[in-house]
């Protein structure tokens, strides 16, 4: 490899490092699974694989393997918490970081920085839109335990209590032992109404325990 070519490829790696650091800093600030160093390594690694594929003349095959490998990393960032699936944004950030790394490896620097701008716009500036949506319509999982005494009546009263706060409720799971029965409800509505419901549940006598 000639010296000028080595210089060009080294520049690509440093550009990938900078872009990966910018995206990774946002993920690290929000304490996500794929943080600062992870996103940097993903971006630099994708750039390096693309450089190698350009050198050996197998662009398509290596590029497809990069996508497959990134798919495994993204899947590891997704997890289930109750009835909620989390980590999808982090997984897609891993995916787009790899795509930007491949773009850098193909000498498309301007395109890479345009993509970086779009990614940061979505991750930072669009956050307020998501918050506004959550205030208007949010789905929470309520785990509520009731005493077996008057269970049918208490369950009906509980559902009516939830609905009076303009919240939609559906039962997703239930479990029973000799003394108690536990219900998992999926409740949908505004954040304010969720807060009012939680306050009410604290004051409801027939509820043994609850968790949101």
Domains and CATH numbers, the chain: 3-125 (no CATH), 136-211 (3.30.70.260)
Residues 168-186 have pLDDT tens digits of 988 888 888 878 889 898 8
Q: Is the pLDDT score of 83 beyond 70?
A: no
Mean pLDDT, range 152-164, rounded to an integer? 88
Q: Is the pLDDT score of 113 beyond 90?
A: yes
Contact, 184 vs 139, CB < 8 A?
Answer: no
What gap in Å lies between CA 4 and CA 45, rounded to an integer?
A: 21
Largest CA distance in the chain: 83
């Amino acid at each position: 490899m000639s010296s000028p070519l080595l210089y060009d490829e080294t520049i690509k790696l440093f550009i990938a490092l900078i872009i990966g650091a910018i995206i990774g800093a946002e993920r690290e600030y929000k304490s996500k699974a794929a943080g600062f160093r992870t996103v940097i390594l993903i971006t630099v690694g994708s750039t390096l694989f693309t450089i190698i594929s350009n050198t050996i003349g197998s662009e398509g095959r290596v590029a497809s393997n990069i996508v497959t490998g990134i798919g495994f990393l993204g899947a590891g960032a997704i997890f289930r918490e109750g009835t909620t699936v989390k980590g999808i944004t982090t997984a897609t950030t891993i995916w787009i970081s790899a795509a930007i790394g491949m773009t850098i490896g193909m000498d498309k620097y301007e395109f890479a920085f345009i993509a970086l701008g779009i990614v940061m716009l979505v991750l930072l500036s669009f956050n307020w839109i998501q918050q506004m949506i959550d205030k208007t319509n949010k789905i929470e999982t309520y785990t509520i335990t009731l005493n077996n005494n008057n269970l049918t009546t208490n369950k009906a009263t509980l559902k009516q209590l939830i609905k009076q706060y303009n919240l939609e409720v559906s039962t997703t799971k239930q479990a029973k032992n000799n003394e108690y029965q536990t219900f998992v409800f999926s409740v949908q509505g505004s954040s304010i109404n969720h807060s009012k419901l939680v306050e009410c549940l604290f004051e409801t006598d027939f509820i043994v325990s609850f968790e949101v």
